[in-house]
Structures are given as C-alpha cells and as structure tokens.
C-alpha cells in the first residue's frame, strides 16, 4: 500500500497555473476570466469543500490579465478560502434576496477589465455558468463578455505531476477495493447491498468520499451503465459490473471491473476478450502527437459492430481529473492532440447479445514515450465471485 502524496498543492503550483492562464489570456486579448463552477474555482484557488453540494450560494473567481486572482464569495467560505494562497477575498452575506453577490462581482470585474476589457467566460461543451440567470442578466451592460477562448479546457487538460499523483492515488484505492469485491458480492446478495458495501470498501481503502458509483448485473451482459441499483439479488450466471469515481484530495479515479457470478459463458469470455483487446489497441495508439480521433479509430476497429463503435454511450473514453469526466472525448470528431500530462479513461463497450452490453474502463496518463496505466489493469479472464 503506497503512501499517499501530500494533500493540497504548493503555492508554486497555483502560480504556474496562473502564469499559463495569463499567457493564454494575453494571446486571446482577454482582460479577465470569470469562473463560477467548483473545479474552475478550485483550479485557481485550491478551495476544496463538499459544500458545493448546496446550490444555495454562488461562488466566483476573477482571474485578471496581470496580478493574482480575486475570490468573490459568500462570507461562510471566507475562513476556508483564507487558509489558501488567495489574499484578495471579497465576501458578502449570502443568500441575499436583493443582491446575491452581483454588485460585488460587477465591481471586481470592472476594476480588472474596465468598460472596454473583454471578460472570458467558459462557454463550450462540458461547461456551464453556475449562477442564476437573473444574476447573469443583471451583470450585462457596462461590461464586455465573451467565451474564454477555450483557455480553461486547454489548461485543465494537461495535468501537473502533483495532480497525476493524486489521481494515481485515487486509482490505487479503487484497485484495492476491486480486488476485495469477492468478499462483498456473491449469488443471493441484492445489487443495492453490493453498492453500499463497495462504497464502504472504497472508504476503508482510503477514499475521502465516493461521489460516483454505477453498476449493473445480468446474464450475459447488462442493459445500461447509469441506473441505480435495484433490490434484485445477484444470480449465478450474472455478469456484475461496478464503475466507480472515488475521490482523494479532490481528484477522481474512474474505472470499472466486470465480475462473474459463477463461471463465464462463451459470449461473456469473448466479449471481455474484445474489451481487453480494445484497451490494448488504445494503448498502442496513445502517445503524444496522436489525436483523440486516432485513439477512437484504434479502439473502434476492435469493438465496432456494424460500423457503430459507440452506440448509446456516445464515446470510448474521456478526460479525467478534478471531475469524473472532463474534456476531451474519444470520439471520431475530436481532433485534440494528445500531450504528456493528459489523463484519460479508455472505455470501450460491446454488445453481447439481445441489446445487452459489457463495458470496460481503465485510466491512463500520456507520457513523453506513450501512455501508462494509472490503475492496475484488469486481467483478460473475468474474475469469478
């Protein structure tokens, strides 16, 4: 059992992120970035709390073209924010039915960008603006907004060594928990009990929390991979799939394992073979300079049925880090070029029969030479429980 890395980050890590951001902002002609979601705020401030579970209060970070970020946040967060590296922390007592931070935010934006400077707001796929639409509308007039020129995506897609260490640690926790599934799941145990027990295994193994657990069970495959667990007991002949996003110090793993209740049928064995083959094909393509569409093509030629590799899932993997899923996507249309420091999931799925599927997922990092697994990859033989 490896020692966990240090919690948090050195100030130098945040300064490096800021410098990269400001260099991109200069290229894009942006006077400021306005950020409002949990990972965006955390990326620049280190502000880590589960309090985002409450939708009540908006939180903002303003990144100026020069100088340090400004946190514009509810006063309930001031104590925690002030423990980090940010010194310009402006607070209001939220919730305020009349003005829930809007004036304070507008003043900060105007101070930084003036009436003429362009303020970049993340606007593309996999982003949203975490503030009430009324507040957003109230901010218009006197300020110039545009998209963020993809800066947040470009920044967050490349993980630092310290970030990779955290993801790796989350992966090691889940690897150990998966190795113990035979102690919590067997014929007769309802799937919802398996879900509870697996979350407990992840916590025992050191997860801070378990934001995501999905799974399914069925003979020769399952119908989808996002449904909640039912009270249906596992039965001999079922394939059980568990897929977890466990978190350590704010960073996710995201991978799954398939298990056989009893012994695997021929179709399960051949399907799992194909999934492992697809992972191997992905690994052989995954190196700096290749594009996501190349990764897609490499995996798709293994798992494609009737020329259709992604079916309902829509993709064969994705980025991973501060969120369970991040850009880019392993799809035919994504021409993002792989670079060292990108952390990805490879997530092929195959139809077994009658609309049933099996899914398999591993977590990798792009290195200067190619790619490495961040978790212990699954063996070709489906583990029996």
User: Between residue 151 and residue 170, which ones bind its own copies under the rule CB under 8 A?
Assistant: none
What stretches of 29-101 show up as alpha helix (H) in DSSP?
Answer: 38-45, 78-81
Q: Which stretch binds its own copies (CB under 8 A): 92-100, 150-158, 172-180, 366-374?
A: 92-100
Among 116, 210, 112, 155, residue whose Cα is nearest residue 20: 155
**For its own copies, which residue of 13, 68, 90, 126 counts as binding (CB under 8 A)?**
126
**For its own copies, which residue of 12, 16, 26, 56 counts as binding (CB under 8 A)?**
56
Is residue 294 within 8 Å of 253, Cβ to Cβ?
Answer: no
Number of residues lying near its own copies (CB under 8 A): 81
- Parallel, antiparallel or unpaired: strands 32-35 and 118-121: parallel
Tell me if the bond preceding 123 is cis, omega within 30° of 0. Answer: no
Residue 95 found at the interface with its own copies (CB under 8 A): yes
Question: Which CB atom, from 22 or from 325, has the smaller least distance to its own copies?
Answer: 325
d(CA 145, CA 19): 22
The dihedrals phi and psi of 76, each to the nearest 5 degrees, come to -65, -20
Q: Which of residues 240-299 bind its own copies (CB under 8 A)?
A: 245
Q: Name the minimum Å distance from CB 338 to its own copies.
A: 17
- Token code pair at residue 254: 């995201």
Q: Name the minimum Å distance from CB 168 to its own copies.
A: 19
For 313, other C-beta atoms within 10 Å of its C-beta total 16
- What DSSP line would sit under 6-20, residue for residue? PSS--HHHHHHHHHH
The total number of residues shown for the chain amounts to 385
> For residue 262, what is the DSSP state?
S
Question: Which CB atom, from 51 or from 110, has the smaller least distance to its own copies?
Answer: 51
Name the CA radius of gyration of the chain, rounded: 22
Among 194, 166, 100, 83, residue whose Cα is nearest residue 139: 100
**Burial grade of 78 (CB within 10 A; 0-12, 13-18, 19 or more):** middle
Residue 110 found at the interface with its own copies (CB under 8 A): no
**For its own copies, which residue of 157, 168, 175, 323 counts as binding (CB under 8 A)?**
323
**For its own copies, which residue of 29, 111, 160, 209 counts as binding (CB under 8 A)?**
209
**For its own copies, which residue of 28, 104, 200, 304 counts as binding (CB under 8 A)?**
200
d(CA 155, CA 157): 6
The dihedrals phi and psi of 375, each to the nearest 5 degrees, come to -110, 170
Residue 123 found at the interface with its own copies (CB under 8 A): yes
Residue 48 found at the interface with its own copies (CB under 8 A): yes
**For its own copies, which residue of 11, 27, 134, 384 counts as binding (CB under 8 A)?**
134
Q: Which stretch binds its own copies (CB under 8 A): 149-157, 272-280, 283-291, 324-332?
A: 324-332
Q: Name the minimum Å distance from CB 46 to its own copies.
A: 11
**For its own copies, which residue of 98, 116, 306, 354 counts as binding (CB under 8 A)?**
98
Residue 1 found at the interface with its own copies (CB under 8 A): no
Q: Name the minimum Å distance from CB 295 to its own copies.
A: 15
**For its own copies, which residue of 117, 190, 211, 237 counts as binding (CB under 8 A)?**
211
**For its own copies, which residue of 75, 140, 183, 284 counts as binding (CB under 8 A)?**
75
Residue 125 found at the interface with its own copies (CB under 8 A): yes
């Amino acid at each position: 059992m490896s020692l966990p890395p240090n919690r948090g980050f050195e100030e130098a890590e945040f300064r490096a992120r800021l410098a990269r951001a400001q260099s991109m902002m200069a290229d894009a002609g942006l006077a400021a970035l306005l950020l409002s979601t949990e990972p965006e705020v955390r990326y620049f401030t280190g502000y880590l709390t589960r309090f985002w579970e409450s939708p009540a209060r908006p939180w903002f970070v303003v990144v100026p073209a020069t100088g340090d970020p400004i946190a514009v946040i509810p006063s309930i967060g001031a104590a925690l924010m002030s423990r980090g590296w940010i010194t310009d922390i402006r607070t209001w007592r939220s919730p305020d039915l009349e003005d829930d931070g809007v004036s304070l935010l507008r003043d900060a934006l105007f101070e930084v960008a003036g009436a003429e400077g362009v303020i970049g707001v993340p606007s593309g796929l996999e982003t949203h603006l975490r503030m009430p639409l009324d507040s957003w509308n109230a901010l218009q007039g006197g300020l110039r907004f545009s998209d963020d020129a993809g800066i947040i995506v470009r920044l967050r897609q490349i993980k630092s060594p310290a970030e990779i260490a955290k993801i790796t640690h989350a992966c090691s926790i889940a690897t150990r928990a998966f190795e113990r599934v035979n102690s919590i799941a067997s014929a007769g145990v309802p799937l919802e009990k398996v879900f509870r027990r697996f979350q407990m295994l992840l916590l025992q193994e050191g997860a801070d929390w378990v934001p995501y657990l999905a799974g399914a069970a069925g003979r020769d495959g399952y119908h989808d991979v996002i449904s909640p667990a039912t009270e249906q007991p596992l039965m001999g002949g079922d394939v059980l799939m568990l897929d977890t996003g466990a978190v350590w110090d704010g960073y996710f793993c995201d991978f799954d394992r398939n298990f056989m209740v009893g012994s695997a049928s021929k179709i399960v064995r051949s399907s799992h073979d194909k999934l492992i083959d697809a992972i191997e094909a992905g690994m052989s393509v995954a190196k700096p300079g290749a594009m996501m569409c190349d990764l897609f093509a490499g995996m798709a030629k293994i798992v494609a049925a009737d020329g259709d590799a992604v079916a309902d899932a829509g993709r064969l993997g994705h980025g991973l880090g501060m969120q369970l899923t991040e850009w880019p996507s392993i799809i035919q249309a994504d021409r993002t070029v792989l670079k060292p420091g990108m952390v990805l999931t490879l997530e092929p799925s195959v139809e077994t029969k009658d609309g049933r599927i099996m899914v398999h997922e591993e977590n990798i990092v792009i290195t200067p030479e190619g790619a490495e697994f961040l978790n212990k990859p699954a063996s070709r033989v489906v583990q029996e429980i």
